Amino acid sequence: MYLYLHVENICNNSHSFPGIWRNHVVHVIKYAKALARKFNADEDVCEIAALFHDYAGILNPEYYNQHHIHSAEIASQILRRINFPDDKIRNIQHCILSHRGSRNIKRKTIEAEILATADALAHIENPDSLLQFAEESYEMSDDKAKKWVLAKLQRSFNKIMHELLDAIKPRFDATVKKVIMS
């Protein structure tokens, strides 16, 4: 519970990423837990990796471009302080390091595949928050924000677990159409 409260507080006090907790992080956690159960993965690892996957970029916007690296390290430090098992910490770090679609880091565990997929599903579920982020945080025009979101959505779709691609494709297509028509 402490970890949730800590991360939620950081998210809710972020001026660079308004609404990141309710519009993204909680959805990534929801999907990660459900997928962990579906694929018989370590639910604790998936849940905590989802909780911390964007943490550093939220904590300090200067970390955003390398947030996967900084988030993995910060999560490790916090988890070591509460005596979380080392093997799970290593797996959580790997999940966080490899969750981004814009980086070519091989995902070596089912938990890493799940985090990347959960993150992608959260993006596909809520394109409006991505548009708002692009327009407000990057100060993009509407057209430029749409192009950025469409590229992000494609990267997100590309990182979804192969077992789920056919099931997710109709939702992805509907989201892309929504962004184009907005």
Angle formed at CA 5 by CA 110 and CA 132, multiple of 5 degrees: 75
Side-chain half-sphere of 22: how many Cα atoms within 13 Å? 5
Sketch out the chain's domains with CATH numbers.
2-181 (1.10.3210.10)
Residue 16 pLDDT exceeds 80? no
Residue 14: the pLDDT is 86
The answer to whether 136 and 23 have CB atoms below 8 angstroms apart is: no
The mean pLDDT value for 126-154 works out to 92
pTM value is: 0.95
